[in-house]
């Protein structure tokens, strides 16, 4: 019995470890995939974003011809009404990488007249991460990874250090919960 228990703990720990590693690396999402950010071809950006599990630290890339389009982050009401009169932020390079660093909805529209109305608008919704402990910021900051994806080590380092005990405690808590359910 003890042997089985130990194996279960190990398996669960491994599972949680691998899943949390996956969570901590920011994914890069190109809006519209190969179509990019456009009004051509009636790209359904709702359909594009709906199945995606966006996480904090993910990078959203808008690729477009800056002569014809732009990117503005707006509020929900402005997103719905395609109102670009007071954007939260404006991006105009044609190759804009936006790192998502808060939970919830992030609404983006093209402010060129008619484009948002034609469907050039997207909602990036970051849900709660299911595999990490319920601490205020533990899951939110990507652990610095030695790849080009690591967004800013300077910012991430102090956080990940201070969150270590929290994360460990979270795993332990999860394991105990699972064991409690199993036995
Ligand atoms: C657009 O949004 C701004 C700021 O939110 C608001 O003052 C303005 O009335 C809105 N315009 C329209 C046409 O809804
Ligand atoms: C956009 O920028 C990324 C790096 O941030 C680069 O890899 C990519 O080739 C660029 N795309 C275009 C069309 O310039
Ligand atoms: Cu446009």
DSSP characters over 40-60? TT---HHHHHTT--B-TT-EE
In this prediction, residue 130 has a pLDDT band, given cuts at 50, 70 and 90, of low
**Per-residue model confidence (pLDDT) at position 128:** 74
Relative to the alpha carbon of 43, which ligand is closest?
3
**Per-residue model confidence (pLDDT) at position 86:** 97
**Per-residue model confidence (pLDDT) at position 49:** 97
User: In terms of pLDDT, which residue wins out, 64 or 160?
Assistant: 64
**Per-residue model confidence (pLDDT) at position 12:** 44
Task: List CB contacts of 44: < 8 A, sequence separation 6 or more.
Answer: 119
* CA atoms of 17 and 19, how far apart (whole Å): 6
99 lines ligand 2 (CB under 6 A): no
* CA atoms of 175 and 139, how far apart (whole Å): 17
96 lines ligand 2 (CB under 6 A): no
User: In terms of pLDDT, which residue wins out, 25 or 90?
Assistant: 90
Neighbours of 133 (CB within 10 A): 18
Residue 90 DSSP SS3: strand
Pocket probe mutation, ligand 1, options 73, 86, 113, max atoms within 8 Å of Cβ = 86
pLDDT tens-digit series, residues 149-166: 444 444 444 444 444 444
User: In terms of pLDDT, which residue wins out, 157 or 41?
Assistant: 41
Closest CA to 75 of 47, 52, 109, 49: 109
Residue 35 DSSP SS3: helix
Pocket probe mutation, ligand 1, options 85, 86, 107, 111, max atoms within 8 Å of Cβ = 85
- Backbone φ and ψ of 5, nearest 5°: -60, -45
63 lines ligand 2 (CB under 6 A): yes
Helix residue ranges per DSSP H, 27-152? 45-49, 76-81
Residues forming beta bridges with residue 90, ordered by sequence position: 72
- Nearest ligand 2 atom to alpha carbon 63: 13
For range 90-105, the mean pLDDT = 97
Pocket probe mutation, ligand 2, options 60, 95, 148, max atoms within 8 Å of Cβ = 95
pLDDT at 69 over 50: yes
**Per-residue model confidence (pLDDT) at position 73:** 98
The region, left, alpha or beta by phi > 0 then psi within -120 to 50, assigned to residue 33 is: left
**Per-residue model confidence (pLDDT) at position 121:** 98
Percent of the chain with pLDDT over 70: 57
Ligand 2, atom 11: closest residue by C-alpha: 95
């Amino acid at each position: 019995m003890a042997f089985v228990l130990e194996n279960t703990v190990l398996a669960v720990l491994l599972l949680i470890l691998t899943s949390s590693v996956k969570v901590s690396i920011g994914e890069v999402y190109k809006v519209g995939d190969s179509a990019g950010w456009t009004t051509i071809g009636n790209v359904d950006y709702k359909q594009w974003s709906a199945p995606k599990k966006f996480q904090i630290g993910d990078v959203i890339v808008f690729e477009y011809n800056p002569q014809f389009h732009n990117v503005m982050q707006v509020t929900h009401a402005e997103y719905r009404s395609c109102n670009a009169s007071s954007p939260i932020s404006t991006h105009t390079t044609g190759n804009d990488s936006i790192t998502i660093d808060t939970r919830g909805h992030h609404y983006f529209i093209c402010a060129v007249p008619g484009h948002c109305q034609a469907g050039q608008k997207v909602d990036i919704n970051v849900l709660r991460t299911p595999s990490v402990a319920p601490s205020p910021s533990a899951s939110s900051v990507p652990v610095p990874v030695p790849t080009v994806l690591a967004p800013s080590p300077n910012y991430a380092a102090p956080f990940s250090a201070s969150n270590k005990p929290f994360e460990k405690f979270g795993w332990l808590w999860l394991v105990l919960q699972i064991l409690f359910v199993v036995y």
